[in-house]
Amino acid sequence: MFPPLPNPTVKPTPAQFGEQDLIRRSASNVAPPARQLTPVAKLIDTSKCIGCKACQAACLEWNDLREKVGFNSGVLDNPLDLTPASLTVMRFSEWINPETQNLEWLIRKDGCMHCADPGCLKACPAPGAIVQYSNGIVDFDHDRCIGCGYCIKGCPFNIPRISQVDHKAYKCTLCSDRVAVGQGPACAKACPTQAIVFGTKEEMKQHAEGRIKDLKSRGFKNAGLYDPPGVGGTHVMYVLHHADKPEIYANLARDPRISPIVELWKGVTKYAGLAAMGGFAAFGFLHYLISGPNKVSEEDEKKAEQLTGSDVS
């Protein structure tokens, strides 16, 4: 068992990281920070999750969000998808294991993965609306968000949601406000089975190793850690009993990476586009300098007068 996070002091504590620790900032360049924070991670062990949704409730509670009263769609997923208020949802999948013919109930806590190479941040056009700290947390700054929805196109995990009320993008913050004062995310705190644990990324990887060994000893020979290299690894990781088949967990991406279309849009299109517009303007400017205006001559006017009979009146 990973030791539970100690209860924090109730005395006000200054934030342990902030602006000075940014390694990426949307639509801006940042100077490399003076120090490197220890990378943190949340580990979600799908084999331990009982689907109680305490994490969902804790997330709403801590972030002071309220989900509209919905309706039962006949499945346990509720709400059915992430929303601007539900920054995490449990996704339930029923899967028949072809080897054992057992029905397995797979429950995955969905939400932002805090990618090391975040597609949302790459796509965002608003300076500073998305930031990444050197501890790995990817956070949205709502005061700067313009509600364009580009982050949705950039994200390989389909995570951000735009509010129809204030037209800003919302997603899991990894409880950056709690982490900044030495606490763990609210969901990890609330989880009754320790299916969600939080610590440094190194600790989480080690802890996952133990869990995977245990699962293997119990016949889950493909148990493994989900820390996809296509996005540089993530700061929210899963222990999966069937790590060879991530898609059975409500379509968890097998090899997520920033879409090549997004790379093209945010890469060469921008430079080629600016160069093309600049090129056309420069051509016009130079052409004018060299050839001067194309003026109508006296003779042209005379010809027109002759043609129209104006010269004989």
Partner 1 sequence: MTAYDVERGDAIHPGKPVTVDRYTGGARINHWITATSLVLLALSGLALFHPSLFFLTGLFGGGQWTRTIHPWIGVVLFFSFTGLFIRFWRANLWKAEDGTWLARLKDVLTGHEERLPEVGKYNAGQKAVFWGMSLLILILIASGFVIWDQYFAAYSTIDQKRIAVLIHAIAAVTIICVWIVHVYAAIWVRGTISAMTRGRVTGGWAWRHHRKWLRELVGGKERRS
Binding site for ligand SF4 (CB under 6 A): 26, 112-115, 118-120, 123-124, 126, 129-130, 138, 140, 145-151, 155, 157, 159-160, 162, 169, 171
| Chain residues that interact with partner 1, rule: CB under 8 A | 27-28, 125-127, 144-150, 152-153, 158, 162, 164, 167, 259, 261-262, 264-265, 269-270, 272-274, 276-277, 280-281, 284, 287-288, 291, 293-305, 307-310, 313
For 176, the token pair is: 């950056």
Contact residues for 286 (Cβ-Cβ < 8 A; gap 6+): none
The one-letter amino acid at 200 = T
Rg, C-alpha atoms of the chain:
28
- Check the CA dihedral 138-144-147-149 and report its sign: negative
Q: Which does 287 bind (CB under 5 to 8 A by kind): ligand HEM, partner 1, ligand SF4, none?
A: partner 1
Report the residue number, 125 or 229, with the smaller CB distance to ligand HEM: 125
Q: Which does 30 bind (CB under 5 to 8 A by kind): partner 1, ligand SF4, ligand HEM, none?
A: none
Q: Which does 138 bind (CB under 5 to 8 A by kind): ligand HEM, partner 1, ligand SF4, none?
A: ligand SF4
Report the residue number, 122 or 235, with the smaller CB distance to partner 1: 122
Report the residue number, 209 or 247, with the smaller CB distance to partner 1: 247
In angstroms, what is the minimal distance from the CB of 56 to ligand SF4? Answer: 17
The span from the CA of 294 to the CA of 310, in Å, is 25
The one-letter amino acid at 33 = P
Q: Which does 218 bind (CB under 5 to 8 A by kind): partner 1, ligand SF4, ligand HEM, none?
A: none
The span from the CA of 25 to the CA of 133, in Å, is 9
| Chain residues that interact with ligand HEM, rule: CB under 6 A | 125, 148
Report the residue number, 85 or 223, with the smaller CB distance to ligand SF4: 85
Kind of pairing between the strands at 22-25 and 130-133: antiparallel
In angstroms, what is the minimal distance from the CB of 64 to ligand HEM? Answer: 28
Distances (CA, A) of 226 to 130, 139, 238, 239: 24, 21, 5, 6
Specify whether the CB–CB gap between 28 and 173 falls below 8 A.
Answer: no
Report the residue number, 4 or 267, with the smaller CB distance to ligand HEM: 267
The span from the CA of 127 to the CA of 117, in Å, is 17
Q: Which residue of the chain is nearest ligand HEM when measured via CB?
A: 148
The span from the CA of 235 to the CA of 115, in Å, is 6
DSSP 288: H
Q: Which does 76 bind (CB under 5 to 8 A by kind): ligand HEM, ligand SF4, partner 1, none?
A: none
For 8, the token pair is: 């924090």
In angstroms, what is the minimal distance from the CB of 169 to ligand HEM? Answer: 13
